[in-house]
Amino acid sequence: MGVGVYLQGKECDSMPEYYFGTALDKMGYVFNFHWKIGLSGTSGSVEVDFIVDAPSPTPIEILGDYWHPAIAGEEETIRLAKIKEYFKREPILVDAKLIHSVNAAMVVIREILP
């Protein structure tokens, strides 16, 4: 279920994702959007919203009401644990409510990335 806008040739699931990726691009960050751990469609595969080279690969998840419930269920907890295990660091979790425009995304990015 996409919203009709794209980053890196992939449809965004939400406008906050689009604003965040557009802001990363404007700020000169190198990143991958909807990056997969494991083989797509196989058991145990995980898609990460953003992997930002800042300076080492940094996983970032945009927490919205649909894909990432504010109160994570067991499935979301397992997914975040897989991301942590793969990158050897906790993913940065960003509340989608803070990302209502490209400018708002830039403010958040300045707070969470070097």
Domain ranges (residues) in the chain: 6-112
24 — phi, psi (to 5°)?
A: -55, -45
Q: Which two tokens stand for residue 60?
A: 């970032």
Structure letter (DSSP) for residue 13: S
C-beta separation of 15 from 1 below 8 A: no
pLDDT of residue 70: 47
Given the candidates 3.65.10.10, 3.40.50.620, 3.80.10.10, 3.40.960.10, the CATH classification of the domain at 6-112 is 3.40.960.10
pTM over 0.85: yes
**Which of 54, 64, 69 has its CA nearest to residue 110?**
54
C-beta separation of 82 from 46 below 8 A: yes
pLDDT of residue 114: 86
Amino acid in the structure at residue 18 = Y
The series of mean pLDDT values per 10 residues for the chain, 114 residues long, is 90 95 98 90 84 95 68 75 94 96 98 94
